[in-house]
Amino acid sequence: MTLLAIENLSKRFSSGGREVVAVSDVSLTLGPGETLGLVGASGSGKSTLARILMRLLPADGGAIRFEGKDWLSLSGANLRHRRARMQMVFQDVLGAFNPRATVASVLNDPLRIHNIVPKAGRATEIAMLLDRVGLPANYAERSIREVSGGQRQRIAIARAIATKPSLIVLDEAVSALDVSIRGKILELLVELQEERGISYLFVSHDLAVLRAVSHRIAVMDAGRLVETGPMRQVIENPQSPAARALVHAVPRLLTEPTEGPSHDV
C-alpha cells in the first residue's frame, strides 16, 4: 500500500534571466509506517521537493497522491482540512513559532483549528502531548522563548502529532541540535512511529542521521533523483557518484591510540 506517491515532479526557478531546474522529473513513493530519507548536497533540490510537498511552493509539473487523493489540486478549506494528515517539523525551531506564544497556545492551535478535541478537553490533551514528547505538564505556561533548543524541538514534534497525521515531513529537523540531544530526539521520532504508524519523509544533508532512522533512502543531485533503495544497501554499495560522495563525506570517529600525530610536528 502506498501512502504517498510523487510522480514526475518538476520545478524551475528563473533567476536574473537564467533558468534553474530545481526539481527535475522526480518520482518517489512512501508506505505507511515507513521512513524515507531524502539526502543531497546544498542545491540538490531536496528542500524544494519538500516545500512543494508541504504546499509552500507550486509545482511546474507532475502529480502527488497522498492517502489516495490528488494532493496538489486541493485548495482553500479542503487543503486546510487535509493538512491535519500531513504535518511538518523544521530545523529552525524558534523561527517556526510565534515568538510571543506560550507552549500551551502553540499546542492549542492545531487542536482548535482541526477540531481534534472539544474546548473543555484541550488542557488535558496538551498535558498528554507534552508528556508524550518527554516534557513536564507545567511547561504549558512557559513562553516558547524560555525553553531550550531541544525542548523546543520536542514541542514542534508535539504540535505535529497533535492532529494525528499519517505523514510528517522532517526538514533538517535535528541538524541544529547538539549531538547529545539529537540522539534523544531521533529516539523519540522512532518511538512515535512504532506506536502510531506515522510515516516520515526525513530531509537532511547528514547521512549519519538518516542512517539511524530511515528504512529507505533517496539521493538527489542537481534536481534529479539519482539513486534510491534500502538504506543499508545504498550506504554499503552506493551506485551514483553523488551517493558515493555523501557516504565518503561522513566523518568517522577514529579512536586508535596508536596512530600518533596526524602530521609531522
Partner 1 sequence: MSTLCQIRNLSVTYRGQTLPALDHLNLDIAAGEWLAIIGESGSGKSTLARAVAGLLPPGAKLAGEMRWSSGGSPLPGRDLGFVFQDPSSSLNPVLSVGEQVAEGARRHLRLSWTEAYAHALKMLERVGLPQPDKAMEAFPHQLSGGQRQRVAIAAALAAKPGILIADEATSALDMVVQAEIVSLLDELVREAGMTLIFITHDIALASGFADRVAIFKDGRLVETGPTGLVLSSPREAYTRTLIASHRDLATPPLIREATP
Q: Which residues bind partner 1 (CB under 8 A)?
A: 31-35, 41-43, 149, 178-180, 182-183, 186-187, 190, 193, 205-209, 211-216, 230-232, 235, 245-263, 265
Judged by CB, which is closer to partner 1: 162, or 226?
226
How does 32-50 read in b/e, with b if 16+ C-beta sit within 10 Å?
eebbbbbbbbeebbbbbbb
Distance in Å, CB of 230 to partner 1, minimum: 6
Nearer to partner 1 (CB atom), residue 26 or residue 246: 246
Residue owning grid cell 533558468: 19
Q: Which is nearer to partner 1, 120 or 265 (CB)?
A: 265
Nearer to partner 1, 169 or 210 (CB): 210
For partner 1, which is the closer residue by CB, 79 or 208? 208
State in angstroms the smallest separation of the CB of 49 from partner 1. Answer: 16
Least gap, CB of 215 to partner 1 (angstroms): 5
Shortest Å distance, C-beta 45 to partner 1: 13
Cell of 253: 570517529
The least distance separating partner 1 from the CB of residue 126, rounded to whole angstroms, comes to: 27
Q: In whole angstroms, how close is the CB of 182 to partner 1 at the nearest point?
A: 7
37 and 214 Cβ atoms separated by less than 8 Å: yes
Give the CA-trace dihedral at 188, 190, 192, 197, to 10 degrees.
170
Looking at the Cβ atoms of 113 and 247, the one nearer to partner 1 is 247
Please name the residues in contact with 125: beta carbons below 8 A apart, sequence gap of 6 or more.
107, 111, 116, 117, 162
